Amino acid sequence: MQQTQEKLNQLNQVLLKYGRVAVAFSGGVDSSLLLKSALDTLGAGNVLVLFGSSILLKPEEISLAQNWLTTNGYPKGVEMQVVDLQPLAWKEFVTNSEERCYQCKLRIYKRFKEIMEKKDFSVLLDGTNTDDLKSKRPGLRAIHELGVKTPLVEAGLDKSDVRECSRLLELSSWELPSASCLATRIPHGLPVTEERVAKISLWEGGLSRFGFDGCRVRLDKERTSVVYVQLAEADLPKIANPDIRVAILRFFYNNNIKKVYLDLEGR
């Protein structure tokens, strides 16, 4: 616990040098810890919360983010602005090239910066942690280009640190599975459409009802009747239950899917 508190202290010291900040907030584990620390360190009047709502998020994710302040003990005094985003109107996003994440993050954060500057906030914060730097994330290039700050990285916090700090602070988000926008389930080169996004949301919602929270259902680039399922590693043993396996297959068959592949590595 002492080591976790020291990590939190490091994060708070990083935040103190920024003064008035806007937080790019998703409701996930990383941005929740960042927001909590910013509010407690800088004060509610010095923090603007910016949440980008779009079709790429599941309804429950949107609700979780919009209710986060109340759920975590901030019923008033904190300004949250919900920014309505329309990514399916962005040609560079819909074409779904390997630059999709970069183009999307660039658009969103440019919009966030426009909003915050009108409200006299000069620093935008993002919840990237040190583990994120180890994987291919095109969105990081947009963050660097726009001068967005990443306090979790500056404080040396990785994914496990973020969860431990969140648990210590008793945040409602500390056990949430990692999340990403629904477009990440669509192979590059296959256009992002409303129909495809809606199907992915439906399928993942169905798996959640079977007890597989944090799952991913990915499309096949060539075959519309094939999907690839990723479950949380801890949930993999459940799939050995024949009743559950048959029920899942029946669910997909009823949704015009003929072949379901399971990623044995999990996520």
pLDDT(75) > 80: no
Assess whether 154 and 258 both reside in one domain.
no
The mean of the pLDDT values for the chain is: 94
Q: What is the pLDDT of residue 267?
A: 84
Domain count, the chain: 2
How many residues comprise the chain? 267
Local structure of 51: helix, strand or coil: strand
Q: What pTM was estimated for this model as a whole?
A: 0.92
Query: 92 — phi, psi (to 5°)?
Result: -70, -20
Assess whether 90 and 211 both reside in one domain.
no
Q: Kindly list the distances between the CA atom of residue 229 and the CA atoms of 55, 204, 215, 217, 232, in Å, as whole numbers in the listed order.
A: 21, 9, 7, 5, 10
Answer with the one of 153, 168, 183 that is the final residue of a domain. 168
pLDDT digits (tens, 9 = 90+) for 150-189: 999 999 999 999 999 999 999 988 888 887 899 999 999 9
Strand partners for 218: 228
Let me know: does 196 contact 219? Beta carbons within 8 Å.
yes
The 10 Å Cβ neighbour count of residue 154 is: 15
Assess whether 150 and 81 both reside in one domain.
yes
Assess whether 74 and 137 both reside in one domain.
yes
What CATH number is given to the structural domain containing 82? 3.40.50.620
Per the rule left: phi > 0, alpha: psi between -120 and 50, beta: everything else, 96 is left
Per DSSP, 149 falls in state B
Q: What is the pLDDT of residue 241?
A: 93
Q: What is the pLDDT of residue 217?
A: 97
Assess whether 53 and 152 both reside in one domain.
yes
The 10 Å Cβ neighbour count of residue 146 is: 15
Confidence of residue 219 (pLDDT cuts 50, 70, 90): very high
Q: How far apart are CA 222 and CA 186, in angstroms?
A: 11
Assess whether 41 and 93 both reside in one domain.
yes
Structural domain of 45: 2-168
Assess whether 139 and 23 both reside in one domain.
yes
Assess whether 212 and 143 both reside in one domain.
no
Answer with the one of 168, 185, 203 that is the final residue of a domain. 168
pLDDT digits (tens, 9 = 90+) for 9-51: 999 999 999 989 999 999 999 999 999 999 999 999 999 999 9
